[in-house]
Structures are given as C-alpha cells and as structure tokens.
Amino acid sequence: MTPPPQTLQSILDDIKSLEPLPQVAMRVMTLSSKEDLVPRELVEVIQTDAGLTAKVLKLCNSAYYGFRREIASLPEAGNLLGCSTLVNLVVTSCTALYFRNYGGQSAEAARRTWERSISTAISASLLAQVQGGVDRNRAYTVGLLANVGHLVMERFLPDLRGELDAALASGATRLQAEHEALGIHHGEIGAQLAERWDFPDVLVDAIRNHHSPSAARIDTTLVGLAHLAEMATQRHWEAEGRAVGAYEFCESALAQSGMTRERFDELEPRLAAEIQRAAALIEL
C-alpha cells in the first residue's frame, strides 16, 4: 500500500510549521550541556517566565518528589533538586503544552499520548538508575520525547485509521503499518521534529531509533534503555486493561543496556508504583 504523496508532504510541512518550544526551554536545554552548570544559572532563566515558574514550583511540591515542607522559591527548588532535575521539570512543563494543545486530536487522545510519554520518561529514569551507565535525567528526557512523533501522526490518523488498521490486520507490524499508511513512522517523524527544534544529536538519534535500538549511532545504551522503558509502559497499560497499539520487543535492547530479561521483569512492580506517583506530572 503506497500512501498518497500529499499525505507525506503534509506531514513534513506540518513538522516544518510547528512552533518550537518556548525560548526559555531552549535556553535551559542549551545550558544543560555545560559541565560547570549551577542551579542559579537555570533559575535566572526560568524565572523570566512567570507561568513556567509556577508550574515548576507546583511540580516540586507534588507527591512525586515527596518533600516534607513546601518549596516556595526557584532558588530553593534548584538547591534541593539539582540542575538535571530542574532541567527535566522545565522540559516537562513546556512539552506538556504541545501534547495537550496540538491541533487535530481529541482531548482524550492528547491526554493518552501525554500520559504514555510521562510513564515512559519515569520508566527510563528508573531503569537508568538501576542499571547505571546512563544519567537518569537524560534517560528521562529521552523517554519523555521518544514518542513526540505521535503529535504529528494524531493530526492525520482520523483520515488514515482505516489504512492503518488494514495493514495491521494483514500481518504488518505496528511500525510497518504506520509506514504503509503515512509513508513514515513515528520515530522518524519525531526525529525530524527534534531536528527542527535543534535538539542535541544524542536526543535526535534516540528518538529516531527507540524502536530499532541496534541502529543507534551515538549512545547505544541510552537508546536500549529508552526502548525498554516504552516496553515497560506498554506492559503496564496492558496489565491495567487499557488497549494500546503494541510495538514489538527488541531483544537487542537488553544486550545494549546490559540488562537481563529476568531483571527487567523483576522491575515491573516498582515501575508501576513510580508511574502511579507521577499523577501531578500527568495532570500538567
């Protein structure tokens, strides 16, 4: 099945026309690459946006972080959380805008996509913490953004759902079905969007290859963990009886991340508990 040329062109045009993340988020991501970064530098940028400041403080005081007293200021938040977590809070808050408000999708579809992204981010962070070798905050960012391509796909799915379902019914994998219906799969869509937003190459590579981790070029361990994180989220949703579009488990991700299947399976209860604690992030 060959997708209509205008469909693929519309998707590519949509990527080009989508506004970038807010300037403050881009400045924070640029700062995050500094080796000698201190919280004060991030705070000076974040506090220029009153709305973002309020969101970050709200998240700092959520059950997910579990502080026993109220965090009343950004400097206090930065000192308690550290630079990497503060960057994650900013990226999470700003990305929520796109998952919630990107045109062409229902409110329920937007919530579902956002919830899955948060769940994958939390799973990636926990897997990185347990396994070691990858910064847990970088893993969180990759998990959060791995499926950003679904934002663009959702705009076209109402018209192409039939083609997607037909490809799946004929025995195609989910990625093959996406390619047949749209001419491109969500990993490549997300990577092109990440390039449009000038994300670091390591993030672009991880977004592009999180369903084919052996194709990763830059940080193979990170991409392996990103794949396992999405599989953990997929399994969690299926256990709750929520139907999801299943993607195939790539065994190579285990070898790349240095994790055995048994160890991955043993983490399921802990992952489920972490996801449940993340209600404040999902409700952004």
Closest CA to 56 of 94, 100, 82, 98: 94
Residue 128's contacts (CB-CB under 8 Å, 6 or more residues apart) are 134, 135, 136, 138, 139, 140, 225
pLDDT for the residue numbered 228 = 95
Residues of the chain with CATH 1.10.3210.10: 1-18+105-284
Interval 17-50: pLDDT, tens: 777 778 888 888 888 878 889 999 999 999 998 8
Q: What is the mean pLDDT of the chain?
A: 85
Is the predicted pLDDT of residue 3 greater than 60, yes or no?
A: no
Phi-psi region of 171 (alpha: psi -120 to 50; beta: other; left: phi over 0): left
Please report which confidence band the pLDDT of residue 95 belongs to, taking 50, 70 and 90 as the band edges. Answer: confident
For position 29, what pLDDT does the model report? 82
Question: How many CA atoms, within 13 angstroms, populate the side-chain half-sphere of residue 173?
Answer: 9
Q: How confident is the model at residue 249 (pLDDT cuts 50, 70, 90)?
A: very high
Which residue type is seen at 207? I
CB 222 within 8 A of CB 205: no
pLDDT band (50, 70, 90) for residue 6: low
Angle between helices 149-169 and 107-131 (to 10 degrees): 100
pLDDT digits (tens, 9 = 90+) for 126-146: 999 988 888 888 899 999 999
Residue 94 clears pLDDT 90, i.e. is over it = no
Angle, helices 136-145/107-131, rounded to nearest 10 degrees:
160
Classify 1-18+105-284 by CATH class.
mainly alpha
Q: What is the per-residue pLDDT across 185-231, written as a single tens digit (0 to 9) for each?
A: 999 999 998 888 888 899 999 999 999 999 999 999 999 999 999 99
